Amino acid sequence: MEKQQYLSISALTNYLKRKFDADPYLEKVFLTGEISNWRLRPTHQYFSLKDDNAKINATMFQGNFKKIKFQPEEGMKVLVTGRISLYGPSGSYQIIVDSMQPDGVGALYQAYEQLKKKLQSEGLFDRPKRSLQRFPKRIAVITSPSGAVIRDIITTTQRRYPIAQLVLYPAVVQGDNAVTSLVTCLQQVAQGDYDAVIIGRGGGSIEDLWPFNEEAVARAIVAMPMPVVSSVGHETDTTIADLVADVRAATPTAAAELVTPRLDEELINLQQLENRLQTAMLNRVKFAKQQVARQMQSVVFSNPQRLYDGYMQRADLAAERLTNAMQQRVTSANNRYQLAARGLPLLQYRQQVLQLEKHINVTQRQLMQATSQIVKDKQQQVAKQMQALDLVSPLNILSRGYALATKDNQVIKSISNINVDDEITLRINDGILSAKVTDIRKES
């Protein structure tokens, strides 16, 4: 056979690739299978689809992958559409996936459950909820400016609490631009001075309500500094926004009722409180008047001199006792003077005083001399005792080159109290050393 009849590998691969690309039956195929070899990549996705008997490689480019609403997982059964192609470098055929959805479960429902599970694991559903203020001044409303939601909220607020200020942030609540619009409005409201936020829209299909199931909207609601009331769809519809909001309302009317009080009821309550306050004050004034009347009838006001009758009696008795005591002291002094005048002549009395003074002076000098000698003797005794203590002082002994060995703060008196490798402490004259026992020898 001639050599020209042999094909190169590249030529055969290119021929087969053209066959794949030109086959109308392979231009758009519908496959069902189980995802295998799945690993999320930053751009294009490469994985496999398999069933019990076969496997095919799959490629899904970034543009198509961004359109799916759920997160593929290993082992998940899916429905895919795409075209069959042959990859030249490896010579293997593959399916280029255009769309993918879960098999048996809707893609939106699958995405909803996945995001719900993720946010719940982060604790966003169980976080402490912010409380609504009882008397709000400014309320922000994020919804479509042309829908029935804003009309219901305005009507309910004007009926219940017309003094509150409503500020509408018009948002796209459906379609591809809804997520960006809702997040932008939430961020703008977060910069303002509002007491509460109402976010929502009317009923619709799960596709219509889907912007309120997006992760970006949920995290923007969680980041709000003021309480958020969510009113999305009908009462049976539950979105991610409803789960992360501080309060969920079944309808826009219910949302406005949750945020605002009934002004007429509050006025009635204020009137009742005013009446109760007036009654309480009148009762207190009446009670105070009764107390004043009772005090005016007391002894203090009716007969005030009776208050100090007892004090006057005690003062009289004290004055009488003082007078008697003074008279007794004067009499006693006079008697002593009379006795002294009759007992000794004045000159003899002076001589006795002078002798007594001399005796006192002599005695005082002797006392001072004796005291000085005693102090001197005690000082000498103290000096001798200090010298004796210094001779037996451990510090004095250490200054002569000796050391004091201790273990665990106990003085080592015998080699029986120590072992090799023990850590000991040596106290010398000017410091402390730490040492380790390496050898023990007994001496007689």
Q: Of 161, 147, 160, whose CA–CA distance to 200 is shortest?
A: 147
Strands (E), 301-430: 404-407, 410-411, 423-428
| C-alpha–C-alpha distance, residues 109 and 104, integer Å | 11
The pLDDT tens digits for 91-138 are 888 999 999 888 765 667 777 888 888 888 888 888 898 888 888 999
Does residue 362 belong to any structural domain of this protein? yes
Sequence letter at residue 202: G
Does residue 315 belong to any structural domain of this protein? no
Lookup: tokens for 357: 């003074």
Q: Count how many Cα atoms sit within 13 Å of the Cα of residue 242 in the half-sphere of its side chain.
A: 19
The pLDDT tens digits for 265-277 are 777 888 888 888 9
Residue length, the chain? 444
Looking at the structure, tell me whether residues 269 and 240 fall in a common domain: no
Q: CATH number, domain at 75?
A: 2.40.50.140
Q: Of 144, 125, 133, whose CA–CA distance to 231 is shortest?
A: 144
DSSP letter (8 states) at residue 132: P
Does residue 166 belong to any structural domain of this protein? yes
Looking at the structure, tell me whether residues 418 and 376 fall in a common domain: no
Does residue 308 belong to any structural domain of this protein? no
Domain count, the chain: 5
Q: Report phi then psi at 157, rounded to 5.
A: -65, -45
| C-alpha–C-alpha distance, residues 119 and 121, integer Å | 5
Residue 199 banded pLDDT, cuts 50, 70, 90: very high
CA 236 to each of CA 197, 204, 206: distance values in angstroms, whole numbers, following the listed order? 22, 11, 12
Looking at the structure, tell me whether residues 219 and 285 fall in a common domain: no
Looking at the structure, tell me whether residues 136 and 239 fall in a common domain: yes
Sequence letter at residue 169: Y
Range of the domain at 119: 113-261
Residue 313 banded pLDDT, cuts 50, 70, 90: confident
pLDDT of residue 342: 66
Looking at the structure, tell me whether residues 97 and 204 fall in a common domain: no
Sequence letter at residue 188: Q
Alpha helices, H only, 58-177: 62-65, 107-121, 148-160
Name 228's bridge partners.
Answer: 197
CB of 33 closer than 8 Å to CB of 102? no
The pLDDT tens digits for 224-265 are 999 999 988 777 778 888 898 999 988 888 888 999 988 877
Q: Of 238, 232, 220, whose CA–CA distance to 124 is shortest?
A: 220
Looking at the structure, tell me whether residues 200 and 67 fall in a common domain: no
Strands (E), 221-336: 228-232, 247-248
Looking at the structure, tell me whether residues 281 and 420 fall in a common domain: no
Q: Of 354, 374, 356, whose CA–CA distance to 364 is shortest?
A: 356
**Is residue 401 scored above 80 in pLDDT?**
no
Does residue 317 belong to any structural domain of this protein? no
Looking at the structure, tell me whether residues 65 and 125 fall in a common domain: no
Query: Cα–Cα–Cα angle for 190, 194, 199, nearest 5°?
Result: 70
Q: Of 156, 165, 174, whose CA–CA distance to 249 is shortest?
A: 156
Looking at the structure, tell me whether residues 26 and 49 fall in a common domain: yes
Does residue 319 belong to any structural domain of this protein? no
- The pLDDT of 358-384, averaged and rounded, is 83
pLDDT of residue 442: 79
Domain end among 105, 125, 146: 105
Looking at the structure, tell me whether residues 101 and 121 fall in a common domain: no
- The pLDDT of 11-23, averaged and rounded, is 82
Name 88's bridge partners.
Answer: none
Q: CATH number, domain at 130?
A: 3.40.50.10550
Q: Report phi then psi at 336, rounded to 5.
A: -65, -35
Does residue 133 belong to any structural domain of this protein? yes
Higher-confidence residue of 360 and 394: namely 360
CB of 162 closer than 8 Å to CB of 187? no
Does residue 443 belong to any structural domain of this protein? no
| C-alpha–C-alpha distance, residues 172 and 179, integer Å | 8
Looking at the structure, tell me whether residues 193 and 71 fall in a common domain: no
User: What is the C-alpha radius of gyration for the chain, rounded to an integer number of angstroms?
Assistant: 54
Looking at the structure, tell me whether residues 88 and 118 fall in a common domain: no
